[in-house]
Copies of this chain bind each other. A is one copy, B any other.
């Protein structure tokens, strides 16, 4: 059901413990002295789990039955996330804090609350002659990656962000695609042509084929812009739970980044696990857990590099905010937890809504209506929830009130009512998601002993972990702006407002 963190230590005979403990403080000194050696970091990794709070990390760990790599890092801190103008932050303000040390307003990308552009860690690294890589599992112009290379008043200015990417001079972009390379949404007043062409024109090799991607080598000169061929929703990689062998994983984008960026002047690489957030918005714990594990696998790539260059590498892992108000306890299951129950889900909420539910609705419309009975097999097939049996003997068997919840959600799904017509009470039940799908994940999550309180972010602090050069700085309780400042200090620079034209 759960595992111990200090199994090794607990396995030692107590006599050894008595002897060892007499020197604990002395040993701690030695360790501290070693980790806080005032060296500069040559290779810097910043991993940002979007929507990844402490509950998300612990849930993934309990489901997996093993400690995540990020939780084994020697330095661990607690990080506040608020924006300049709101207690519950958004990804743009949070990413600006993490990229530049600047507290800013909701939706601002790389700018102060007074709309002055701020210099980011990535830009500083580039100026210092280091190579720079940006990786994300969502679109590469989404708020989090954008805050490292763009400076715009609103995160929705995707075309401007795409142009900023093309003009960044950064060496490697990997993961998702571009959301508005042709200014189709018309949010930019400064059209410079198709951003995809600008990217090529500025010397980027654009790669989307997996075999070609995996064959990329440091011997190939020039910059790389690589994205997964299949971008199922919002130009993002598929959820880890839906990934096939044809997809490039976040870990593969990270590993290739390390290979391409490694050079005598060092590098800075930001890697975002972006779909943890999206899954949490939809209150889909299993998809969030699988994306957290996929994010941890990307971190393991950096750890493998760290082990080769321990005296020159810094790895920092943080979250930009918690999302969904996830907690590891539910009124219905009281003190019990059944994390393994989630194993019966093998599709993301998104794919379930986009494929089976959509097909079902289309078929039913043609045939003039369908009964709830007809969708039951799909619910059992994709999520393991059972309509027959004894709920006391089998956690997956639905209780009568849960069947009623599903029936009501089904009616609402089939009626196709728009979100805007929902009253306050309905918003609590379904947020802005497909009513049937979100009700299924709610029930499955509750059966596992997990609860959600929101479809948005929350203001609960997140945790930050670090290993390597200067990692001791990341112990303690500090703000998200401090994360950037601490990283900058390991590069020997401080955050400054810069008045660049971009």
Interface residues of A (CB under 8 A from B): 1-2, 4-6, 10, 14, 17-22, 24-26, 28-29, 32-33, 36-39, 54-55, 58, 62, 71, 74-78, 80, 82, 86-88, 90, 103, 106, 322, 325-332, 334-337, 339, 399, 401, 423-425, 427-428, 431, 449-461, 463, 465, 470, 472-473, 475-479, 481-482, 485-486, 488-490, 492-497
Chain B residues with Cβ below 8 Å from A458 are: 327-329
Is A21's CB under 8 angstroms from B332's CB? no
Residues of B within 8 A of A453 (CB): 325, 327, 329-331, 450-453
Q: List 27 A-B contacts (CB under 8 A).
A: A4-B82, A5-B80, A5-B479, A6-B481, A10-B103, A14-B497, A17-B485, A21-B495, A29-B33, A33-B33, A74-B476, A86-B337, A88-B328, A88-B329, A325-B330, A325-B451, A328-B460, A329-B458, A329-B460, A330-B453, A331-B431, A331-B453, A331-B456, A334-B456, A399-B425, A401-B423, A450-B453
* Given contact pairs A36-B29, A497-B14, A461 touches B337 in the complex (Cβ within 8 A): no
Residues in B whose Cβ lies below 8 Å from that of A481: 6, 10
Known contacts A329-B459, A450-B453; 18 further A-B pairs (Cβ under 8 A)? A2-B87, A5-B478, A21-B485, A25-B473, A29-B38, A32-B32, A58-B80, A75-B476, A77-B475, A87-B337, A88-B336, A325-B451, A327-B327, A328-B460, A329-B454, A334-B454, A399-B424, A463-B477
Chain B nearest Cβ from A354, distance in angstroms: 23
Contacts A21-B485, A88-B328, A473-B25 hold; do A335 and B457 have CB atoms under 8 A apart? yes
In contact, B424 and A479 (Cβ under 8 angstroms): no
Of chain B, the residue at the smallest CB distance from A19 is B494
Q: How far is the CA of A339 from the CA of B336 in the complex (A)?
A: 31
* B-chain residues with CB within 8 Å of residue A5 when the two chains form the complex: 80, 477-479
Nearest chain B CB to A403's CB is how many angstroms away?
Answer: 12
Q: How far is the CA of A431 from the CA of B451 in the complex (A)?
A: 15
The answer to whether A32 and B36 touch across the interface, beta carbons within 8 angstroms, is yes
A29: B residues at CB distance < 8 A = 33, 36-38
Interchain CB contact (< 8 A) of A28 among B36, B424, B492: B36
Q: State in angstroms the CA–CA spacing of A25 and B487 once bound together.
A: 10
- Is the CB–CB distance between B495 and A14 below 8 Å? yes
Residues on B with C-beta less than 8 A from A82 are 2, 4
Residue of B nearest to A10 (CB): B103
A322 CB to nearest chain B CB (Å): 7
**How many Å lie between the Cα of A455 and that of B55 in the bound state?**
18
User: Is the CB–CB distance between A494 and B327 below 8 Å?
Assistant: no
CA distance A129 to B428 in the complex (A): 58
Q: Give A329 to B453 CA distance when docked, in angstroms.
A: 7
Q: What separation, in Å, do the CA atoms of A472 and B31 have in the docked complex?
A: 11
The 7 lowest CB-CB distance pairs between A and B, nearest first, are A451-B453, A329-B458, A325-B327, A21-B494, A475-B475, A24-B489, A76-B477
CB distance from A429 to the nearest CB of B (A): 9
The interface residues of chain B lying within 8 Å CB-to-CB of A20 are 494
Q: Which chain B residue lies CB-closest to A38? A: B25
Which of B80, B331, B449 contacts A427, CB < 8 Å? B331
Q: Decide if B427 touches A463 in the complex (CB within 8 Å).
A: no
Alpha-carbon distance A495/B71, docked complex (angstroms): 25
CB distance from A311 to the nearest CB of B (A): 14
Q: Whole-angstrom distance between the alpha carbons of A311 and B67 in the complex?
A: 36
A459 touches which of B62, B88, B485, B494 (Cβ 8 Å): B62
Contact flag A25-B475 (CB < 8 Å), given A453-B329, A456-B335: no
